[in-house]
Amino acid sequence: MRNQIRTIFNSATCELSILLIIGSMIVTKLSMDHHNGWNDLAVVASSIGGVVLVFIIGWITVKLITKAEVDEMPIKSRLVIESISRLLFLYWILITFNLIPALIWGVLILWDGIRSVKQVSNKATLS
């Protein structure tokens, strides 16, 4: 079960969904700041993010219940997408909460990124 969950979260569907959700969070925040409240763009971006979130939760649930095989995303591509997602998430924290929380999260995100690269390099040397 643990390997299946890891494989699902390392799939292209999951990684791209996370990227879309973070992108919609940024667009919503910037649009609301620019227009001092909700506007059409913020509503559309929030709706897209919500639909993607519901889709990915349903997709993960179906894959776990049916125990269907899911292909992992290639390691190099996954690291690039994860890095972009991390940077965008850090940017969202910066524009939403300010500098101090962004610095704290930045340290955690940097540590996780280094850990991911080390895991990939360890797998490459073992293979």
The gap from C-alpha 106 to its chain's centroid, in whole angstroms, comes to 15
pLDDT value of position 103: 96
Task: Work out the average pLDDT over 91-116.
Answer: 95
* Closest residue by Cα to residue 11 from 88, 90, 77, 89: 77
Is a pLDDT exceeding 70 seen at residue 122? yes
Q: What angle do CA 67, 72, 73 make, to 5 degrees?
A: 150
pLDDT at 127: 62
Mean pLDDT of the chain: 94
Indicate if the alpha-carbon torsion angle 70, 73, 79, 84 is positive or negative: negative
The reported pLDDT for the residue numbered 125 is 75
Ranges 27-31, 62-66, 112-116: which has the least confidence: 112-116
This model's pTM is above 0.85: yes
Q: Residue 60: is its pLDDT beyond 70?
A: yes
Neighbours of 117 (CB within 10 A): 13
Reported confidence tier of residue 108, pLDDT bands at 50, 70, 90? very high
Dihedral angle computed from the Cα positions of residues 73, 25, 62 and 5, in that order, rounded to the nearest 10 degrees? 50
Element (H, E) at 72: none
Residue 86: pLDDT over 70:
yes
Cα separations in angstroms, 9 against 15, 21, 34, 48, 112: 7, 15, 34, 20, 15
Q: Is the pLDDT at 18 greater than 80, yes or no?
A: yes
pLDDT average, residue stretch 26-32: 97
